[in-house]
Structure 1
Amino acid sequence: MKILVIDDHALVREGLRQVLKGLDENVDVLQAGTCEQAFALAQSHLDLDLALLDYHLPDMTGLQALDIFAERHPELPIVMLSGSANYQIMQQVLKSGAAGFINKSSLSDELLRAVRQVLDGNVYWPEDRQQGPLTVPNENPNPKSTLTQRQELVLQGLLDGQSNREIGKSLSLSEETIKTHVTSILRHFEVQNRTQAVVAAARKGYKPRETS
């Protein structure tokens, strides 16, 4: 497993490296203090599994860097880090296609839970205590979907953060059948992975089911 940590503070990078050891003692954590360093590392390590990207960096903003990563490495999941859990910032990050958002003040257990969720192909977003679950404004409030009813049920599972096995169990379908439906969903939204499909679906008005 190989993870890229991008933050301009060496102590923060080292702290994250130590926390990420909780995923796997042999995890390879690459470190970059600027976006340019990060882009160079990503280009020379095409087998990266994940990148943790600070929102505030010296050479450009995290959102600008996110756009460049999306263009150069569209399959690489990016999780944004920020010292502020500002709701507007989280909305911007979500709309920009990040796979998750983590507050730097989060406990180690929450950070590891978020990273595991993203590595499993899901999206991680903290629930804002005042604003409630994050949502993306609809680009089209009444989208005409060409997904089949079964594909929409599978998509709902993706939005809820379920694995293929969990979706298959809930729909009484095999995992292979779910994979086939997921492939069709990716093609429908013209994306390359589950994370991008969830973001694209959110932009079209699809939402995770509310949990009590």
Structure 2
Amino acid sequence: MKEFSLEDHAAADMTILIVDDHWVVRESLKQVARSLSEKFILKEASNFAEALRILEGDSSVGLLLVDLVMPGFQEFEGVQLLRRRYPSVPIVVISVHEDPNHVMEAIRHGVIGYIPKSASAEEIKRALMRVLAGEVAFPRNIIARGFDEDPSPSPASVNGGERNPKLTLLTQREMEIMMRLGRGTALFDIADELEISRQTVRVHLGNAMKKLGISTREAAIHFATEHVKELGTLTAEASEAI
């Protein structure tokens, strides 16, 4: 991945709120954030109520790093509340959970990143680099394990062959990109896997979003996650037809 630089970057002097009930975790995350930029304004909270007070009093918070398991926080209900009250603040989940279902549920609730607490400082740094650059950051190894373990059929086969009609509007390339997005792949990596430029990926994604009636990246991720198996089936069929 290209070397990240915060020079002239919109996120250079942003406020990051770190919410975790363990001070060691908060300190570790602050160290990683400082390694990216000394200009970051770092705030912290040890519980959900404290985090809400900070968010209510500080409109400059541009990124929220939040643990799913802590006092006063009901996991995804808490994420829903944050998304509803502060829809413009991106959320990255920090969690001890490393099962695919947890990661996929987080994606469905609109988070832009998921960092396991077992991640190394370098892995956390790479994840933050991606979200600060406007990408998503999900543990692809965990998500891939979920696809390997889950033998359930795609929605098309469950519904007697019916597929979401909107998906038929997509080109093969758009389906390939949406499928990878649904599996938690960042645009950086999608470009590498498909051997095309990142700008080309963004153009295809933008076209797909227009066809699907989607206006935000978060909504695109949610849609792709919900239809990832269907997208995989359609992509495979399109490849076989060539």
Counterpart for residue 20 of structure 1: 33
Q: Could you list the runs of 5+ residues in structure 2 that have no partner in the other structure?
A: 1-13, 157-162, 236-242
2:29 equivalent to 1:6: no
Displaced runs of 4 or more, over 4 A? 132-140, 150-160, 169-172, 177-192
More helix by share: 2
The one-letter amino acid of 1:195's match is E
1:74 aligns with 2:87: yes
Instruction: Name whichever of 127-136 and 195-204 sits farther off.
Output: 127-136
Tell me the residue number matched to 1:117.
130
- 1:46 and 1:184 mapped to 2: Cα distance? 32
- Whichever of the two has the greater Rg, that structure is 2
Task: From 55, 71, 83, give the equivalent of 2:68.
Answer: 55
Q: Does 1:65 align with 2:65?
A: no
192, 215, 221: which one pairs with 1:198?
221
On the 8 A contact 1:53/1:62 being kept in 2, the answer is no
TM-score, with length taken from structure 2: 0.67
- Does the 8 A contact of 2:15 with 2:42 survive in 1? yes
Distance 1:52 1:191, change over 3 A: farther
- 1:21 CA displacement: 0.8
The residue aligned with 1:128 is 142
The structural deviation recorded for 1:140 is 4.5
Query: Residue 70 of structure 2 aligns to a residue in which SS?
Result: coil
Shift of 1:73: 2.0
CA distance in structure 1 between the aligned counterparts of 2:38 and 2:153, rounded to whole angstroms: 42
Instruction: After TM superposition, give the deviation of residue 119 of structure 1 in Å.
Output: 2.4
Aligned to 2:99: 86
Residue 98 (structure 1) aligned with residue 119 (structure 2): no
Paired residue for 1:36, among 49, 58, 65? 49
Change (3 A) 1:192 1:76: farther
Cα pair 2:15 2:41 within 8 Å, conserved: yes
Of 153, 168, 187, the match for 1:162? 187
The one-letter code sitting in structure 1 at the alignment partner of 2:50 is: Q
Separation of aligned partners in 2, 1:20 and 1:51: 12
Preserved CA contact (<8 Å) 2:17 2:45: yes
Deviation of 1:203 (Å): 0.8
Task: Report the Cα distance in structure 2 between the residues aligned to 1:18 and 1:66, rounded to whole angstroms.
Answer: 24
| Contact 1:85/1:103 (8 A) holds in 2 | yes
- Deviation at residue 106 of structure 1 after TM alignment: 0.9
Q: State the identity as a percent.
A: 25
What is the CA-CA distance between 1:157 and the residue it aligns to? 7.3
TM-score normalised per structure 1: 0.75
Which whole-Å deviations, capped at 9, do the CAs of 1:8-65 have from their partners, x for residues lacking one? 1223212211111122121111111222222232233333332111011101223121
SS in 2 for 1:105: coil
* Deviation (angstroms), 1:108: 0.5
Structure 1 residues 190 and 106, CA gap change in structure 2 (3 angstroms): same
2:44 is paired with a residue of what secondary structure? strand
Question: Shift of the alpha carbon at 1:170?
Answer: 6.2
- What is the CA distance between 1:69 and its match in structure 2? 1.4
Query: RMSD of the TM alignment (CA)?
Result: 3.7
- In the alignment, is the contact (CA less than 8 A) between 2:107 and 2:225 conserved in 1? no
Which residue does the alignment assign to 1:143? Answer: 164
State the SS of the aligned residue for 1:46: coil
Q: Any idea what SS the aligned residue of 1:131 has?
A: helix
Secondary structure at the aligned position of 2:17 is classed as strand
